[in-house]
Structure 1
Amino acid sequence: MLGLAQTATIKGVVLDEFKMPIAEVNVQSNNNDGTITDVSGFYLLKIPANTNVKIRFSHINHKNVEITVNLQAGEDFEFNPVMLVNVEQIETVVLTGKTRKNVEGVTSISPQILRTIKGAQPGVENILKTLPGVNISNELSTQYSVRGGNFDENLVYVNGIEVYRPFLIRSGNQEGLSFVNTDLVENVDFSAGGFQAKYGDRLSSVLDITYRNPVDFGVRADLSLLGGSVAVETVSKDSKFSSLTGLRYRDNSLLLNSLETEGAVEPVFVDAQTYLTYKFSNKFHLNFLGNISLNQYNFEPSNRQTNFGTLQNPVALLVFYDGQEKSQYQTIFGAFKADYYASDKLTLNFTVSAYHTQEQEYFDILARYRLGEVNTNIGDENLGEVEFSEGIGSQLTHARNDLDALITNIQHDGEYKIDESSNLEWSIRYTREDFRDRLVEWEVIDSAGFSIRPPNFNIPNNQPYEPFTGPLVAFQNIRATNFVNVDRFQAALQWSKRGYIGKHEVYYNAGVRAHSWTVSGDNINSNNQTVVSPRAQFAIKPDWDADVLFRVAGGMYYQPPFYRELRDSTGTVRPEVKAQQSFHVVLGSEHSFTMWDRPFKLVAEAYYKGLTDVNPYTIENVRIRYRARNNAEAYAYGLDLRLNGEFVPGTESWFSFGYLKTEENIDNRGFIARPTDQRLKFGVLFQDYVPNIPDLRMYLNLVYNTGVPGGSPSFADPYDFQIRLRDYRRADAGFLYDIVKLGDLHNNWRRHFKSLSVGFEIYNIFNNQNSITNTWVRDVNSKAQYAIPNFLTPRVFNLRLSAQL
């Protein structure tokens, strides 16, 4: 490498015609020195001084840009080229297929899709649910399961910083905003399994989000009947300081007021995020990511009627409520990240972050119910009403749950480019988790005037022959106070290399992670454990006429227990709980081809997971309750297919299919379906526009999932309750009209906007009755327990206004 006295530096940000940064642009000089722009479009290239150097900027989707410079020794020159597209497009909506991501088995999603297709779910999850292997059967929730895993088995990163979600949320109604603000997103990478060692320890997936570095002043705003958002980006004159700030407000009343349970509901969710960057020099950048969110859910239910059963034997549940629920979740998150580019080969990162959550869940709700036969006489004025009561009773539920958690992290990451075809990456991390938890929950059930005791209540009752002297007890009574500390040390090392076997291009990745943790706290016996997980990937692109890529990935994956996994159903913390272990094998292929003179890609992945030391759990809406015992083994296998491309010129759509089977064996009693055993999944994301009116666009977001096991009543044996919920079928559609499009030139009031659109959305077009869980009602007469579905939202209409300045 030439010394500093004989070289100069050219740097900048490569932009498209809409002033958006372009990633993975090849920057090549005529002396064979080169580099590639990062996700924010930034590049830096050393070139010889005092001589004419021709530099070419090239990208597969844009026209080349060339420049000739002659710089003095040590000179630092900034050049920000604008690259035009090679082909005419109606809209830049692309599911990107970067070469590096392809070989790693990572799906990249354009942020433009996230901002265009909002849907009922307020985040990136609205798009994830259309991918194969990803299952979301609750439009009120942002939680998702991947290939048989549960909600706790997914990693989420924003700019390399791990983020968390609240702990006490038990219902999708209580959820507001996803942590990820789609208005700030630059890049979305998602891996459904077989991910690299540099990522953390989870069993299922990685969602890696990158927020963009602004290159100009801009404002984005979105307003709908479900709330609004605004994002502002700024850059200083010397381009050293940039800021990205987003404010969001969400009110789910439009959705919640459409549910079967009527009452006064006040769901208010607010958050503010900022991402700040200061470039002290070309080598040293300091970043700050901050988030403050406040979720409040107040609910006073009044009544509910749910009709179920069959046409021959229709049954209805009538419930009348007294009481209310008040839940609040307040989180504060902040992280400083320092990037040091020591040389062209060595990059060092240092991160310090803290996450603080204060959560409370208070409710006292008395539900008086009737279970009876429904009038089915067509033409009768009492059609649909309950005429004969088969069961009557009441239920009183109470909770005073408070949780205060503080999670701090110190982390170092590094990357060293050994040569042009191989590199080495490493990370070291220390985490301190401090939980202060008070759990007070009880439930009293009365059926036909008799208070029901729990099945494990073993005091004999010989009434009426002998007086009963035992105490009155609640059907469920959980009381616990926990002060728990967890100290974690993690380290990872991985090596990657590109090369050739003959004429076939190949890619290797091998790495290993180590994770050691200690659980301690008040009245807890300290316990320490350590796990080591090796992982590897291999990909080959044969020298064929067809553009085909094959890859295989696998290794050992561990999930060391987080606080919720340490706490059993009685609220007791068990520090001896071990990490769940999974052996992954993923076989994948990608075939890129041209059809109708437009690009398409078919992606297929077959996978198998063998799990040991499994911590069994049940799912109640979105709350997971662990047994806190490693007394099970499990497996999951399946096939995922996705076909994406320009089915309509200038737009990107995809069709996906997934098959999954996952079962568990608890205490060697035999295999039964796991709570996430969702066998078949179909997903469609389709975009179109009116040929004669190209400014009028539409999208269709369609998901079909077969039903999962519906759970079991309290104290019941899950082996006796394997009845599945009904299939989940949902289709959302949106119609958008562009008043101003990116790149348009106007001389009137529209010149102040880069883009402006109005939209009309229909959620659940076909008004399907989907359910997320069951309510179990006991009939003292027949001694039967009825599984009554809790239905999700029906058809709902929404209006939307979006603008960019």
Structure 2
Amino acid sequence: MKTITQYLVFFISLSLSAQTATIKGIIKNIDREPIEGVAISYLNHGTISNEKGEYQLQVAANIEISIIFSHIAYNSIKKIVIIPKNKSLRYSPFLTAKVEEITEVIVEDHKRDAQGNININTADISKIPGANQGVENILMILAGVNNNNELSTQYNVRGGNFDENLVYVNGIEVYRPFLVRSGQQEGLSFVNGNMVQNINFSAGGFQAKYGDKLSSVLDITYRTPQEFGASINASLLGGSLTLEGLTPNKKLSTLIGFRYRNNNLFINSKDIETNANPNFTDVQTFLSYVVNPKLKIDFLGNYSLNNYNYTPKTRRTKFGTISDPLELIVHYNGQEKDKFKTLFGALKGSYIVNENLNLSLTTSAYHTIEEEYYDILASYNIGEVNNDFGSEDFGNVDFSEGLGSQLNHARNDIDALISNAEIKATYKKDNHKFDFGIKYQNEDIKDRIKEWEVIDSVGFSVRPPHHLVNNQPYEPFSGEITPYQNINTKNHIKIDRLVWFAQYSKNSDWNNHKVWYNLGLRSHNWNVNSENLETSNQIIYSLRGQFAIKPDWEKDMLFRISGGMYNQPPFYKELRDFNGNINTAVDTQKSVQIVLGSDYSFNIWDRPFKLVSEVYYKNLTDVNTYTVDNVKIRYSANNNAKAYATGIDLRLNGEFVPGTESWVSVGFLKTEENSNNQGYISRPTDQRFKFGMLFQDYVPNIPNIKMYLNLVFNTGLPGGSPSYTNSYDYQNRLNSYKRADIGISYVFTDAKNNYNTGWLKNFKELAVGFEIFNMFDVTNSITNTWVRDVYSKRYYGIPNYMTPRVLNIKMDVKF
């Protein structure tokens, strides 16, 4: 009788509406993996999701209906909807595993979360708008990750600097160029987003198996192709081509990526009028050969060439306040020509001894040859701007406060070869896991720095401070003409490193609670040799640990604590002081860290959400202080400071719009340093507040139209200080950094909507659209240019502004 009643209700509903509607989507678990075999039911009608997690069900329109999603291994959910006639609703739920039925799945599902890593959806890499599209572009939205230069892929994490982050690709550490001083020169990131399969990121408290840096780990895994495929990405900024395939015997898989980028669109739209041709090219390949079921050999190779040709003409920059507006007018002569060429190759063999023991041997070499050549003469005028609205000269310069010129010259070269070999072993038995590794690395670096700056004001050359007393024009000066800044050094150093680590991990049950813990030890021994300098040999040890527990509560909660000792033995740049001299005795920078975190998974509007919270504290000693010029870091090379960093990071992600994932990040940070016991002042990366949001949406009636919005707000950084001055005297901050990028695209076809007929059947994916960078045309500044007036002895901090609003058109194709 009940069945007959249900059928009557169903047919009456259909007759009343006279039309049907459709609900469809993709069903995934909390790790974003599709679930096959989910039953989707409405009254006595239903369907089952396929191997891709996809489903589609016809339902009655214009009435309230309840749809049940159920699976034997997952908790069922109910969705109540009202869909207009002839319309389609996309709904893509996330199902959570049943604790009482399949406990093993819960341990595996939360293992990455327990380790404190953030797993980033690789599908977002090519979709999220940004001036530097890629993996790093997504990182910039996370709390605790900052960079106020949209032309750079470098980032700082929780008060650290750009040199304190580890980057791995398939377990192989990769490096960045040395001489880059601005994002305009940098070009492409090493990581090719079109080749990525998995992205894990840790902002602190990472395991002992990762290297010796103070801040973060970005762990990238490139995919192993299973069939032929090709993808093309093209825009006004450049393009990329990715090819992949598998031999008929399924032993050799090939993944090759070509990329080209030209930043003319950005650089020629800044407040400096230029003739610029910055172009960046790279070729990257990942080969994997299966010798037999136990032995596999991988090769990762990369070649990149960055050419930066820059001829500035004029610059007009307004600064100051409303009551005291000023303007800098500069006329340039000269040019800059830079070239950065890098080669990287790594060979890795993996051998499965038995079901418990895996071994791997990796050898790699990184070679970079970099040239930084420029001669630029700048004649400048700093003037007071007329701020009388009623004046005919409103906005024009009334009075010149400073006149002068500045000549900058550089012939800088570096040739660095870094080679290493590493053995790793992993032993698993039941819930126990042991990891061990030992690595030898040799660094051979040849460096020539020849750069100087001459400052002239009203015909009088400005000498360096504390050089000689100069009372011109009142008294004649008989001393030699000396550049205001002058570095002329040649360095050739070799560094040998021996590193090993061992760690133990276990996941188990404690009563009905799930627990995971890890304990590891690292050792790092290095030896620095340099011509005509004393040899230095040092060794350090660090102990690290993590613990996580998932209580047997009704609420889905996970708690973790991690930390330990994190050390950063000096790399070449940290051994070189402001004057280019090498100090082989530079000690390791040391940090004791603790991170407390929690994950709370819940449902709102029958859709999954997760709130991730982390509180951290870092105590740093033997700090090697530095200054930041755009993205170039110069160290004092003396370990004469101590510092700390503390803060809280919050991230909420989930389906704010059905079928899409968005997230909001908020971070609070305070980091200060005390140099030579002068007291605590803000570090150059003291970014107090961070807000980031990634929002995805689509047009309900036309779901093929997608929208991606990227919002970032950072409070102002310290503005730096002029050369030869005490940074304690210059603690003003730059203005807050505000940026909004939006991308809108029309998806003709993709993995969710394939065509078996027509011209679209030849494509796996086809999308065209446009992006607007800096949508609200906000004037952001990255650093100050310091201009000196010889009469008043006053320094003016002139903001270096970033890019204005820029339009880009793009197309993505996959075969």
Is TM-score (shorter-chain normalized) higher than 0.5? yes
Residue 468, structure 1, aligned to residue 477, structure 2 = yes
Letter in 1 for 2:279: V
Q: Tell me, in whole angstroms, the C-alpha distance in 1 between the residues paired with 2:693 and 2:235.
A: 24
Which of 484, 497, 501 is equivalent to 1:488?
Answer: 497
Which of 149, 169, 172 is equivalent to 1:161?
Answer: 172
Which of 723, 726, 734 is equivalent to 2:735?
Answer: 726
2:129–2:741 contact (8 Å) kept in structure 1: no
Q: Tell me, in whole angstroms, the C-alpha distance in 2 between the residues paired with 1:596 and 1:135.
A: 32
Aligned counterpart, 1:789: 799
Aligned counterpart, 1:663: 672
Q: Tell me, in whole angstroms, the C-alpha distance in 2 between the residues paired with 1:381 and 1:158.
A: 61
User: Structure 2, unaligned stretches of length 5 or more?
Assistant: 1-25, 39-48, 57-88, 97-107
CA shift digits 1:650-681 (9 cap, x unpaired):
11100000000000000011100000000000
Aligned counterpart, 1:322: 333
Residue 409, structure 1, aligned to residue 382, structure 2 = no
Return closer, same or farther for 1:186/1:496 CA change in 2, 3 Å cut-off.
same
Which of 562, 566, 584 is equivalent to 1:575?
Answer: 584
* 1:96-115 superposed matches below 5 A: 98-115=109-126
* 1:168-207 superposed matches below 5 A: 168-207=179-218
Return closer, same or farther for 1:93/1:214 CA change in 2, 3 Å cut-off.
farther
1:758–1:801 contact (8 Å) kept in structure 2: yes
Aligned counterpart, 2:658: 649
Letter in 2 for 1:138: N
1:566–1:575 contact (8 Å) kept in structure 2: yes
Residue 63, structure 1, aligned to residue 36, structure 2 = yes
Aligned counterpart, 1:55: none
Q: Tell me, in whole angstroms, the C-alpha distance in 1 between the residues paired with 2:216 and 2:55.
A: 35
The 3-state SS of whatever aligns with 1:544 is: coil
Which of 746, 749, 756 is equivalent to 2:759?
Answer: 749
Residue 262, structure 1, aligned to residue 288, structure 2 = no
Aligned counterpart, 1:83: 51
1:95–1:652 contact (8 Å) kept in structure 2: no
2:91–2:658 contact (8 Å) kept in structure 1: no
Q: Tell me, in whole angstroms, the C-alpha distance in 2 between the residues paired with 1:95 and 1:520.
A: 58
1:520–1:575 contact (8 Å) kept in structure 2: yes
- TM score, norm. by length of structure 1: 0.89
Q: Tell me, in whole angstroms, the C-alpha distance in 2 between the residues paired with 1:252 and 1:577.
A: 38
CA shift digits 1:283-340 (9 cap, x unpaired):
0000000000000000010000000111222110000000000001000000001011
Aligned counterpart, 2:344: 333
Q: Tell me, in whole angstroms, the C-alpha distance in 2 between the residues paired with 1:87 and 1:349.
A: 41
Q: Tell me, in whole angstroms, the C-alpha distance in 1 between the residues paired with 2:662 and 2:392.
A: 49
- Cα shift at 1:466: 6.2
Residue 424, structure 1, aligned to residue 392, structure 2 = no
1:578–1:630 contact (8 Å) kept in structure 2: yes
Return closer, same or farther for 1:585/1:314 CA change in 2, 3 Å cut-off.
same
1:196–1:536 contact (8 Å) kept in structure 2: yes
Q: Tell me, in whole angstroms, the C-alpha distance in 2 between the residues paired with 1:763 and 1:643.
A: 24
The 3-state SS of whatever aligns with 2:455 is: strand
- Cα shift at 1:255: 0.6
1:410–1:431 contact (8 Å) kept in structure 2: yes
Return closer, same or farther for 1:694/1:327 CA change in 2, 3 Å cut-off.
same
The 3-state SS of whatever aligns with 1:157 is: strand
The 3-state SS of whatever aligns with 2:36 is: strand
The 3-state SS of whatever aligns with 2:304 is: strand
1:122–1:178 contact (8 Å) kept in structure 2: no
1:447–1:780 contact (8 Å) kept in structure 2: yes
Which of 207, 218, 235 is equivalent to 2:246?
Answer: 235
CA shift digits 1:180-208 (9 cap, x unpaired):
00000000000000000000000000000
Aligned counterpart, 1:7: none
The 3-state SS of whatever aligns with 1:63 is: coil
Paired positions, count: 735
- Cα shift at 1:84: 3.0
Which of 358, 380, 387 is equivalent to 2:369?
Answer: 358
Which of 694, 698, 705 is equivalent to 1:689?
Answer: 698
Aligned counterpart, 1:141: 152
Q: Tell me, in whole angstroms, the C-alpha distance in 2 between the residues paired with 1:683 and 1:383.
A: 38
Letter in 2 for 1:785: Y
Q: Tell me, in whole angstroms, the C-alpha distance in 1 between the residues paired with 2:303 and 2:93.
A: 31
1:145–1:151 contact (8 Å) kept in structure 2: yes
Return closer, same or farther for 1:267/1:399 CA change in 2, 3 Å cut-off.
same
Aligned counterpart, 1:433: 443
Letter in 2 for 1:674: R
Aligned counterpart, 2:771: 761
Return closer, same or farther for 1:280/1:23 CA change in 2, 3 Å cut-off.
farther
1:95–1:108 contact (8 Å) kept in structure 2: no
Q: Tell me, in whole angstroms, the C-alpha distance in 2 between the residues paired with 1:152 and 1:169.
A: 12
The 3-state SS of whatever aligns with 1:412 is: strand
Which of 245, 261, 276 is equivalent to 2:287?
Answer: 276
Residue 714, structure 1, aligned to residue 723, structure 2 = yes
Return closer, same or farther for 1:764/1:463 CA change in 2, 3 Å cut-off.
closer
* 1:339-350 superposed matches below 5 A: 339-350=350-361
- Cα shift at 1:449: 1.5
Residue 585, structure 1, aligned to residue 558, structure 2 = no
Moved over 6 A (4+): 22-25, 91-97
- Cα shift at 1:594: 1.0
- Cα shift at 1:209: 0.3
CA shift digits 1:769-804 (9 cap, x unpaired):
100000111123432211110000011110001100
Residue 705, structure 1, aligned to residue 714, structure 2 = yes
- Cα shift at 1:503: 1.3
- Cα shift at 1:379: 7.3
- Cα shift at 1:122: 3.3
* 1:555-574 superposed matches below 5 A: 555-574=564-583
Task: Give identity over the alignment, percent.
Answer: 56
Aligned counterpart, 1:456: 466
The 3-state SS of whatever aligns with 1:180 is: coil
Q: Tell me, in whole angstroms, the C-alpha distance in 2 between the residues paired with 1:780 and 1:208.
A: 51
2:30–2:94 contact (8 Å) kept in structure 1: no
The 3-state SS of whatever aligns with 1:115 is: coil
- Cα shift at 1:631: 0.3
Which of 600, 621, 625 is equivalent to 2:630?
Answer: 621
CA shift digits 1:360-411 (9 cap, x unpaired):
0000000000000223354766543323211100000000000000000100
- TM score, norm. by length of structure 2: 0.88
Letter in 2 for 1:343: N
Return closer, same or farther for 1:330/1:92 CA change in 2, 3 Å cut-off.
farther
Q: Tell me, in whole angstroms, the C-alpha distance in 1 between the residues paired with 2:636 and 2:595.
A: 29
Q: Tell me, in whole angstroms, the C-alpha distance in 1 between the residues paired with 2:311 and 2:479.
A: 35
Return closer, same or farther for 1:410/1:94 CA change in 2, 3 Å cut-off.
farther
1:390–1:781 contact (8 Å) kept in structure 2: no
Residue 739, structure 1, aligned to residue 707, structure 2 = no
User: Structure 1, unaligned stretches of length 5 or more?
Assistant: 1-19, 26-58, 66-80
- Cα shift at 1:24: 11
- Cα shift at 1:504: 1.1
The 3-state SS of whatever aligns with 2:292 is: coil
* 1:119-138 superposed matches below 5 A: 119-138=130-149
2:147–2:156 contact (8 Å) kept in structure 1: yes
1:93–1:113 contact (8 Å) kept in structure 2: no
Letter in 2 for 1:420: D
- Cα shift at 1:522: 1.1
Return closer, same or farther for 1:353/1:597 CA change in 2, 3 Å cut-off.
same
Residue 310, structure 1, aligned to residue 310, structure 2 = no
2:611–2:651 contact (8 Å) kept in structure 1: yes
The 3-state SS of whatever aligns with 2:125 is: helix
Residue 775, structure 1, aligned to residue 743, structure 2 = no
